[in-house]
Structure 1
């Protein structure tokens, strides 16, 4: 009975746009900041500390950081991360492309824009906040900073 109840509550939470943790339900974030990285990626070593600083400065619980590490042996973690958040399209589009973070609307799952090594931490924070505000207001973004999709 407990298993059935937990399954029902989890399904209800997903229907309502909530994500379930052990005992608490959290609303869907405004945006996901999805960082595509790999151990061997040179630009990642520039982007990662800047992105960390930007997110620490924003300190916003409605911005969720999602690392996607395509280094060997991380497939299960990546699968859970993308399926749980409904961002499979972006994962498939950029699988194998690294060194940037995509900002994805938490509700619509649209890619709002990206940040890469051309941004310093302050510019990243400002860009993420602007895209978050556009997502909250259900506005389109005409950001051209995202890389081309992979050709796999």
Structure 2
């Protein structure tokens, strides 16, 4: 009996929270960054912390960073399907397993509008992305 009461009260609490939840604010990206990454990539190990630091300043920016992990055959297959699902399958195929950079694309045209490499720090990444977005 106690278990049923707990389950019932938990269900009521969950329903109350769902009823009070606010819709998420969804923004269309203006720039898509395809990050070609692998666990064995030394350039990626240098770029990862810079992208992480930049992400805090870019969290409200119309910029979508998509990490394409090409570490092994399984992740390559998954990355290929992800790239294809968002409309960049051909670009993924052309790039192959080159890693350690981000290709910046205009989300409307799919045109490459820039790149981010291991040589850029977080501030340079933020400045580059903000210059490419209209926000």
TM (normalized to structure 1)? 0.66
Q: Displacement of 1:79 after TM fit?
A: 2.5
Determine if contact 1:105/1:132 at 8 Å carries over to the other structure.
no
Q: Distance in 1 between matches of 2:38 and 2:85?
A: 21
The alignment's C-alpha RMSD in Å is 2.2
The answer to whether structure 1 residue 60 and structure 2 residue 67 are counterparts is: no
- Spell out the pairing of 1:59-78 with structure 2 (5 A cutoff): 59-60=59-60, 62-72=62-72, 73-78=74-79
Give the aligned partner of residue 83 of structure 1.
84
Point out the structure with max Rg over C-alpha. 2
Give the aligned partner of residue 42 of structure 1.
42
More helix by share: 2
Q: Kindly provide the CA deviation profile for residues 56-94 of structure 1, in whole angstroms up to 9, marking residues without a partner as x.
A: 211125211100111111134213321221112321222
Number of residues paired by the alignment?
112
Q: Distance in 2 between matches of 1:90 and 1:25?
A: 29
| Structure 2, gaps ≥5 residues long | 1-22
Q: Kindly provide the CA deviation profile for residues 6-30 of structure 1, in whole angstroms up to 9, marking residues without a partner as x.
A: xxxxxxxxxxxxxxxxx98956411
- Spell out the pairing of 1:1-152 with structure 2 (5 A cutoff): 26=26, 28-60=28-60, 62-72=62-72, 73-133=74-134
| Structure 1, gaps ≥5 residues long | 1-22, 137-152
Q: Distance in 2 between matches of 1:126 and 1:65?
A: 15
